[in-house]
Structure 1
Amino acid sequence: MTRRYAWVVFAMAFALMMSDYLARQLIVSMFPHLKEEWGLSDAQLGGLVSVVSVTIALGTFPIALLVDRWSRVKSIALMGSIWSLATLSAAFTHNYGQLFAARAAVGLGEAGYGPAAGALLSRLFPERLRATVFGALLSAGSLGAVLGVVLGGVFADRWGWRAAFVIVGIPGLVLALLFLLVRDYTTVRLPAGTTARPKPGLRKLLAELLRPRSAVGAYLGGATQIVVMSALYAWLPSYFSRYLGLPADQAAARTALVVVAGFFGQIVLSFAADRLARRDRRHRLQLPAVLSLVSLVLLTAAFAAMPPGNPQLLVILVAAFTITAPFGVVASVSVDVVHPALRATAMSMAAVAQNLFGFAVGPLVVGAVSDTYGLRAALAVIPLFCGFAAAFFWFASRHYDRDLRRVEAGIATDDSSDEDVAR
């Protein structure tokens, strides 16, 4: 496959990832409308965000096992169709339980997309570009979240919150079906001598995936950082509405600026991590470790010491730029340190950690704390998770080079592995 073809496939994956997060984040701008119409608590509203992540966490690993053995392209088309149809169904719900179930179905569709897209792109681009490519791909999530927050507020104010689900669901379905035109790569089989071949069972497979300490540290670091990021993206529209008295569309516009800052941070800092890794491969993980501490300081100062207003927003914007630094790195590390036959499954391990211990935790915890102590207090406490993320990334950096050498040595003697370079 040519370099041009590789970038065309990347563009398609980017567009579908953007649709994914647009569908996921659309709900947050509807919180004021749902709170007024159905009398929901903040904990219940947070649950509408968290349930998507819980479903992803429960489904991504078994689905990724099938992706590695079936087809990346067909999996992408199927997953995108499921979450788009689930988004459409949310428009026809009449109570909290029905909407909660529709949101859970969105997560079921998303469960296999990240691992399948990551495995496909890892075969099209070389290792030296993977953090950049994965960072750029995952930045589509930030862009989709921006569109979800902004468009959700606009559509809900003009046509009602139900119309927003219909408008968002249809384009996602079209993008998913277009992926059937993409060529897949031949499924890679594990070498006979590996402890991770499917026949010995799930225990040995998990042992192979968790053997690289750098991968485990990256999984946990990404998850704890996402606790903070997901809490910000879910609750900033409500924060600006409650503490500044802004209508839903203006609160959504301010939140969109924060998400856009994260979008650029994810691209720029993933590229920076790849550049620094040319000097010392450990720098790929050391950079997000340092920037996690920067995010901790900035966000704590913003919500604990600064009154609501433009200066506070400026500090939040800088923190939003740094807080997304790890996510391209986590995706890159997760596939770098495992056998090529396990790349989708390795991506699923990162997705399990990030969704179950990250996306599912942040909005729900902030909602629960807000019901007792207020939203501002909840947002002042949640940045503490950035400190844990920094420790996990630093731990991973100490083992990364050794894990890479082990995989490189294994691939060099394995005739079943192809070079992962787009020619």
Structure 2
Amino acid sequence: MHLHAHDAKAGSGNDFLVPKGQAWFAFAMTFGLMLFDYIDRQVIVSLFPYLKAEWSLSDKQLGGLVSVISIVVAAAGLPVALLADRFSRVKSIVVMATTWSLASISCMFAGNYSQLFAARAVVGLGEAGYGSVGAALIASLFPARMRSALMGAFFAAASVGSVLGVLIGGVVAARWGWKAAFGVVGVPGLVLALMYLAVRDYKTVALTPELTKATRSASDLLGHVAKALTRSRTLLWACLGAAMQLIAVSAVWSWLPSFLNRVHGVAPDMAAKQAALVVLAGAFGAFAWGVLVDGAGKGRGHVKLALVAGLCVLTTVLFCTAFGLMPSGQGQFMVILLGGFVMTCTVGPIAAVTFDVVHPGVRSTGAAVLSLFQNLLGLALGPFIAGVLSDLWGLQTALAVVPMFSLLAAAFFLVARSSYDADRAAVNHVHVDAATGPRPKLTQAHA
């Protein structure tokens, strides 16, 4: 699979694939579901104090309740995205949203850790591939010149959803118990899932013989993805860099409420509200950095990668200073807040860089490759590593150490920038059209 190429039409940077109103409706609906994707994921972190007290759980076990979703998303994301690419992105998203919403509701009936862990795994199964398929849909409906900003805005929904999940979980648990929180956040996703059927899809793109063979089964796809990663240094190093940055992001998001509760002595519901401010700063950061990097890079991916690398270094400096050198207090929290704004710098630009080097016929699948790295090596590891280090050294020390992974992210992005131009220029010939009927139809690629 050339996980390469941009399309001639959308890639020109000037045209919407569908009327603007339909494109923005698709964006709004996709953003809304991404919001509830992360509300359902992150509601658990504000419930950690209650779960720890009721079931005597270790920090490693608590971290596992976050990590299991990312592990399942990583394992199932590629097959789900492959099916969506070849059949229907819209219908696939409807099924995914319905599944994760029902699974989230089921968490309120868990009677022990094992049952809750299993229910959280099913939440991950429903969410598998959603970010990839949703991002591919947006990237195809809008002009390529808007991709970094749109991807930043789309993935900012993850931050906003995390904020709402933490806030809702803290408030509901304080009033009605931790189990009620899962029921409150699960229902709205079901409503949005049904509304999503009105979103306009794009036609399934005909593949080259090589791509057709590679997408016949999950095993063939995995083998071809491995070859594609070997051929495309940009894709490989960008994926690795994105994963390393998300180790820091997911660790801070997952453990900041507990840090404020244990170290600062803040009540669990208030700790959730303060931590939500940091996650909200990340939402603004994801969009702001997407716009700024788009403007500064002006279509030059190697410049975007260099800028993002510098922001990753800044992430390390801010968090290591806050957690490792500063005393508890308002000053420390302000530096943490600034770090929250900077640390989401990768989500828009790196998604855009990935789409620049992915064949439109497997755009969801290409995004799933990025998602695989982000979830398995980033989002899954961050909460777990921080939990293990917290059990060994204490939570504050753990949060001072984990952000050093951002330095690795910076190094990987600098390696990726050296091959971006060549990888993008290698394939520049595939056309994408909007779907006109309820079922996507094939449109032939042309040179």
8 Å contact kept, 1:209–1:346: no
Q: Give yes or no for the alignment of 1:380 onto 2:400.
A: yes
Q: What runs of 5+ residues in structure 1 fail to find an aligned partner?
A: none
**Aligned equivalent of 1:93:** 110
Q: d(CA) in 2 for partners of 1:406 and 1:196?
A: 21
Deviates more, 1:228-237 or 1:112-121: 112-121
The answer on whether the counterparts of 2:301 and 2:353 sit within 8 Å (CA) in structure 1 is no
Q: Equivalent residue of 2:306, what SS?
A: helix
Give per-residue Cα distances to partners, 1:246-281, cap 9 Å, x unaligned.
111111111011011111110010111111221733
Amino acid across the alignment from 2:367? M
**Maintained 8 Å contact 2:72/2:124:** yes
Shift of 1:79: 0.5
**Which letter maps to 1:261?**
A
Distance 1:305 1:96, change over 3 A: same
Q: In structure 1, what is the equivalent of residue 245 of structure 2?
A: 225
Does structure 2 conserve the Cα–Cα contact (< 8 Å) formed by 1:291 and 1:322? yes
Q: For residues 209 and 9 of structure 1, do their structure 2 counterparts lie closer, same or farther at Cα, with a shift above 3 Å needed? A: farther
Partner-residue secondary structure (3-state), 1:91: helix
Q: 1:195, 1:205 within 8 Å by CA — same for their partners in 2?
A: no
Distance 2:376 2:23 in 1: 31
Residue 198 of structure 1, CA deviation: 3.3
State the 1:216 CA deviation. Answer: 1.1
Structure 2 counterparts to residues 174-213 of structure 1, below 5 A: 174-192=191-209, 197-198=214-215, 201-202=220-221, 203-208=223-228, 210-213=230-233
| Partner of residue 273, structure 1 | 293
Deviation at 1:398, TM superposition (A): 1.3
Q: Where does 1:407-418 land on structure 2 (aligned, <5 Å)? A: 407-408=427-428, 410-411=429-430, 416-417=444-445
Matched, 1:120 2:137: yes
Q: Secondary structure at the match of 1:184?
A: coil
Instruction: Tell me if 1:171 matches 2:191.
Output: no
Tell me the equivalent position of 2:436. none
Shift in Å, 1:162: 0.9
Helix, strand or coil at the partner of 1:40: coil
> Which sits farther off after the overlay, 348-357 or 186-195?
186-195
Asked if 1 retains the 8 angstrom alpha-carbon contact of 2:33 and 2:192, the reply is yes
Tell whether 2:28 aligns with 1:11.
Answer: yes
Q: Which residue of 1 aligns with 2:96?
A: 79
- 1-side partners of 2:200 and 2:341: how far apart? 35
2:385 maps to which of 339, 352, 365: 365
Aligned to 1:54: 71
Q: Which residue of 2 aligns with 1:330?
A: 350
| Structural RMSD (CA) | 1.7
Cα 1:184/1:31, change in 2 over 3 Å: same
Aligned residue number for residue 240 of structure 1: 260
TM-score (norm 2): 0.90
Taking the aligned partners of 2:374 and 2:266, their CA distance within structure 1 comes to 32
Q: Is the 8 A contact 1:75 1:112 kept in 2?
A: no
Equivalent residue pairs, number: 416
Q: Do 1:198 and 1:205's aligned partners in 2 also have CA atoms closer than 8 Å?
A: no
Q: Identify if the C-alpha distance between structure 1 residues 190 and 208 changes in structure 2 by more than 3 Å, giving closer, same or farther.
A: farther
Counterpart of 1:152 (choices 169, 186, 201) is 169
Is 1:355–2:375 an aligned residue pair? yes
Aligned-residue sequence identity (percent) comes to 48
Q: CA deviation at 1:158?
A: 0.4
Please report the TM-score for the alignment, with normalisation by the length of structure 1: 0.95
CA displacement 1:108-141 (0-9 Å, x = unmatched):
0111211211121121112111111111000000
Q: Any conservation in 2 of the 1:69–1:187 contact (CA below 8 Å)? A: yes
- Decide whether the 8 Å contact of 2:22 with 2:199 is kept in 1: no
Q: Which amino acid aligns with 1:323?
A: M
Q: Tell me the equivalent position of 2:328.
A: 308
Hey, what's the Cα distance between the residues in 2 that align with 1:166 and 1:110?
17
Q: What's the counterpart of residue 6 of structure 2?
A: none
| SS of residue in 2 equivalent to 1:246 | coil
The structural deviation recorded for 1:282 is 1.4
Cα distance in 1 for partners of 2:234, 2:351 equals: 12
Are the equivalent residues in 2 in contact too, given 1:139–1:263 (CA < 8 A)? yes
Q: Which moved more, 1:378-387 or 1:175-184?
A: 175-184
Distance 1:313 1:174 in 2: 37
Seen in structure 2, the aligned counterparts of structure 1 residues 70 and 403 have a Cα distance that, compared at 3 Å, is same
Deviation track 1:358-415 (CA, whole Å, cap 9, x = no partner) reads 111111111111112110111111011010000011111111111111122x438xx8
| Rounded Cα–Cα distance in structure 2 between residues aligned with 1:221 and 1:283 | 15
Are residue 294 (structure 1) and residue 329 (structure 2) matched? no
More moved, 113-122 vs 102-111: 113-122
Distance in 2 of aligned mates of 1:316 and 1:199? 47
Indicate if the aligned counterparts of 1:196 and 1:208 stay in contact, CA closer than 8 A.
Answer: no
| Contact 1:217/1:392 (<8 A) preserved | yes
1:372–1:132 CA distance, 2 compared to 1 (3 A): same
**Structure 2 spans left out of the alignment, 5+ residues:** 1-17, 432-442
Q: CA deviation at 1:191?
A: 2.4
CA distance in structure 2 between the partners assigned to 1:109 and 1:194 by the alignment = 26
The whole-number CA distance in structure 2 between the counterparts of 1:327 and 1:279 is 17
Q: Give, in whole Å, the separation in 2 of the partners of 1:279 and 1:367.
A: 40
CA distance, structure 2, for counterparts of residue 93 and residue 295 of structure 1: 37
Q: CA deviation at 1:67?
A: 1.1
- 1:39 matched to 2:56: yes
In structure 1, the residue matched to 2:434 is none
Q: Is the 8 A contact 1:296 1:386 kept in 2?
A: yes
